[in-house]
Homo-oligomer: A and B are copies of this chain.
Amino acid sequence: MLNNRTAIVSPNSRLGKNVTIGDFTIVYDNVVLGDDVRVESHCILGYPTPLASGKPLVIGNAAHIRSHSIFYEGSKFGNGLRTGHHVTVRENVDAGTGLQLGTLTDLQGDTKLGDYVRTHSNVHLGKRTNIGNFVWLFPYTVLTNDPHPPSNLLIGVTVEDYAVIATMSCVLPGVRIGARSLVGAHSLVTKDVEPDTVVVGVPAKRLCTTSEIKMKDGTGEPAYPWMRHFQGVYPENVLQEWRAKFGRR
């Protein structure tokens, strides 16, 4: 372990090979890090909570956690986790491979995320959120869970594979955002969104199918499914699958 002199790392934590812990970072007991994990400065890993029921914080290989981020014990992440700064992740999050969490993102816990999910800055996921694979959540998206706040009834939002929620949109409790759909910016989604559909507004209404949105790059090609043209940082096997499935260019 490459441990900066000011980090405070519990001898009970289990760190893989080639792990770096930044200055002024605290690693508690109940932490399992894979190989080649880089934790930056001013972070907290494995923040203790009784709500984790003793489960450790498990982070896969090659993670990169940027500064001032906080991960509670009791959550689990596949390989390739990457975060921005000032991220907070509470207990009982179960995330797949390649999760990216933007700066100031706030995961309240009890959340499932598939593979290659990406939240941009300042995304807030309430408890019991259920996110599929390859989902995009843009800045200031809020997924709620309480149908008549405050109450003890938590009904999470479901976001299906490849769906995209644009900036500053809010989704009401229990709503299902269909696969490959697009929620326009600054919308309030009050009911289920069909697959391959664009909704916009407060409250959000159906605008068109996603294929009717054209690229503004001069080609005029359909902008969706985005898997046909977007590069991102996806591994080659994913891109190959998209070629077969979506006709990736």
Binding site for B on A (CB under 8 A): 6, 8, 23-24, 26, 41-42, 44, 47, 67-68, 70, 84-86, 88, 103-104, 106, 108, 118, 121-122, 124, 126, 136, 138-140, 142, 144, 146-153, 155, 164, 166-168, 170, 172, 185-186, 188, 201-202, 213, 215-217, 223-224, 226, 229-232
Contacts and interface: CB of A to CB of B under 8 A. Distances in A.
A161 to B, nearest CB: 14
Contact of A230 (B41, B104, B152, B155): B152
| Number of identical protomers | 3
Nearest to A140: B142
B170 A170 contact: no
Contacts of A136: 149-150
A217 B146 CA distance: 11
B166 A140 contact: no
Given A121-B108, A229-B151, A186 B202 contact: yes
A223 B148 contact: yes
Given A23-B8, A24-B24, A226 B155 contact: no
Contacts of A151: 215, 217, 223, 226, 229-230
Nearest to A165: B149
A148 B26 contact: no
B168 A149 contact: no
A144 B185 contact: yes
A126 B47 CA distance: 31
Contacts of A150: 118, 136, 164, 226, 230, 232
A70 B85 contact: yes
Nearest to A230: B150
Given A47-B67, A140-B140, 12 more contacts: A68-B86, A86-B104, A88-B103, A104-B104, A106-B122, A121-B124, A136-B150, A140-B142, A142-B167, A151-B215, A153-B216, A172-B185
Contacts of A147: 216, 223
A144 B148 CA distance: 24
19 contacts: A6-B8, A23-B24, A26-B41, A44-B67, A84-B88, A103-B106, A104-B104, A138-B146, A140-B142, A140-B170, A144-B166, A147-B216, A148-B215, A151-B223, A151-B229, A151-B230, A153-B215, A172-B185, A186-B202
A149 B164 contact: yes
